[in-house]
Amino acid sequence: MEKVIFLDRDGVINRDKRDYVRSWDEFDFLPNVFVALRKLTELRYKIIIISNQAGISKGLYTQGSLSEMTEKMLERIRRNSASIHAVHYCQHRDEDNCSCRKPKTGLFKQALLGKAIDLNETFFVGDSQRDIEAGKNLGCKTILVLSGHTKKEQEVLDFKFKPDFVAVDLLDAVESVIEKKEEPNKGRR
């Protein structure tokens, strides 16, 4: 079985500006992201980014800008000894009613084609209620990080779907949840 972890982009990997990140000049990695991604890579997780990017269909930035941001993001991550397996974007607006815009699961299913995984052992790390709902719709474990759209744990009380775990940021999610899950059971025979 392959180990897969899904990550939202804005608010998990880079700062969520509460508006669209329209160019590489606006792309700002969050603190400790490279350390967290390196740990996930060392734990042999296939890291897959799943992100809604409706700014394309709204005409706020171009496909070329998104491609440039993605290429430069992946290059910086590689230079920091981590590896992203794949990146999938939904470029539709809510009113397009597509199957790929989170909280729907079309992008996840596309990313999982040909992979043998156990969804009960798969994580989705996101920063919003929409992300948690998407993870629940998929049937995987969800981790809400407070480094993006959602800033305070008490905001979760208003969520229709509750996360399995809450973490300060991606590094905290990796250290508090994922690495602990990976540790062998000490003292058991």
What CA–CA distance (Å, rounded) separates 138 from 120?
A: 10
pLDDT beyond 90 at 45: yes
Q: Mean of the per-residue pLDDT values for the chain?
A: 94
Instruction: State yes or no: is 8 an active-site residue.
Output: yes
Mean pLDDT of 139-162: 95
What CA–CA distance (Å, rounded) separates 75 from 181?
A: 29
pLDDT beyond 50 at 186: no
Question: Looking at domain 4-182, which of 3.40.50.1000, 1.20.1050.10, 3.40.50.11740, 3.40.50.300 is its CATH number?
Answer: 3.40.50.1000
What CA–CA distance (Å, rounded) separates 38 from 43?
A: 9
What per-residue confidence (pLDDT) applies to 184?
Answer: 59
pLDDT beyond 90 at 53: yes
User: Higher-confidence residue: 86 or 182?
Assistant: 86
Could you read off the pLDDT of 87-145 as tens digits, one per residue?
999 999 999 999 999 999 999 999 999 999 999 999 999 999 999 999 999 999 999 99
Instruction: State yes or no: is 10 an active-site residue.
Output: yes
What CA–CA distance (Å, rounded) separates 39 from 55?
A: 31
Task: Look up tokens 């407070």; give the residue.
Answer: 146
- Please report, for residues 50, 98, 99, 125, 189, the alpha-carbon distance to residue 12 in angstroms, rounded to integers and kept in the order given: 11, 24, 23, 7, 38
Tokens at 124, concatenated = 């989705």
**What's the chain's Rg over C-alpha atoms?**
16
The residue from 10, 16, 127, 131 that is catalytic is 10
Q: Where are the domains of the chain?
A: 4-182
**Are 110 and 100 contacting, i.e. CB atoms less than 8 angstroms apart?**
yes
The residue from 8, 127, 169, 172 that is catalytic is 8
pLDDT beyond 60 at 185: no
Could you read off the pLDDT of 5-38 as tens digits, one per residue?
999 999 999 999 878 999 999 999 999 999 999 9
Whole-prediction pTM: 0.94
